[in-house]
Structure 1
Amino acid sequence: MHKNIAFSIILSLALFCLLILPSTAKDGVVTTELWCVAKNNAEDAPLLTALNWACGPGGADCSPIQQGGPCYDPADIQNTASYAFNDYFLKHGMTDDSCNFDNTAALTSLNPSHDKCKFPSSLSASNASISSPSTAYGNGMGPSENLNGSNKISEQWIWPLVTNFLVIAYNTWAMG
């Protein structure tokens, strides 16, 4: 029985580590790539309104989703809106507030890139301008507060914790 419990713990930790692997550790800080994408359950009309705002007053670079661009797909409003939302997110602070768009968008660590359409991530935007936009957001589409933020998640405790669990699990398994 102890071997089954130890095996379960080891397997769980291995899966947990696989989830951490896409992250990059530097100086004890784990950074995770993030993208701002349209929610799967968002209705087309609010998505279109948010997309128009992002590409207009929001100042997102929407040239890749225009005709002839690598992300042009007029039949897929979710991918189109996702590209615009993500560009806005990268340019305006990379915070939860810069990825809301009237509750039609959310952050993800799953890369939304597809075919020739490559979505830059929060890690590749390290030289992006991170400042509050000067545009007024009276229509509720844009952020509502200061956007100075970071996508770095401080997880200095994770590796010692994982190591300790692995040692305990191995000892339990070896003694069982």
Structure 2
Amino acid sequence: MAGFGEAELTTVDARGLRVGIAATRWHAELVDHMVGRAVAAAEASGVTDVVVVRVAGSVELPVVAQALARRCDAVVALGVVVRGETAHFEYVCQSVTDGLTRVALDASTPVGHGVLTVDTIAQARSRAGLPDSAEDKGWAATVAALDAALTVRELSAEATSTR
């Protein structure tokens, strides 16, 4: 994480889209807040159909994101993975990132990656969209996924109209 350059919190006109949010139960205080920020971002973007589901941990996010991608226009994955004393952190982070990318590509459904991969809880708090946070990854991941969903929809419509 560079720690600078976060895009301004914006919205898009996503009326008519359905968004699915998959969030972990680990680090509930932070993830619950991120879910609230993701829902707020969706609603601020005009989305009225938001599905929120919870999973045990970050490794479970890709398979649930895949199920959501079958029924939603955009998906957001939220969680917190904190580095420990073993290599487990690297395996989890790589697995989650690869899995979410695969879901997005296989389903042609944007997946917002809002899984915080940090060295400390303080770093997670700084990115979780709390009142004193420097960043708001729940909001940012949601708007990014909705924006991409609108682009995919536009490209699909263009492809259909040129046939």
TM over 0.5: no
Q: TM-score, structure 2 length as denominator? A: 0.25
Which structure shows the bigger proportion of residues in helix conformation?
A: 2
Larger radius of gyration: 1
Q: TM-score, structure 1 length as denominator? A: 0.24
Q: Which has the higher contact order (CA 8 A, sep 6+)?
A: 1
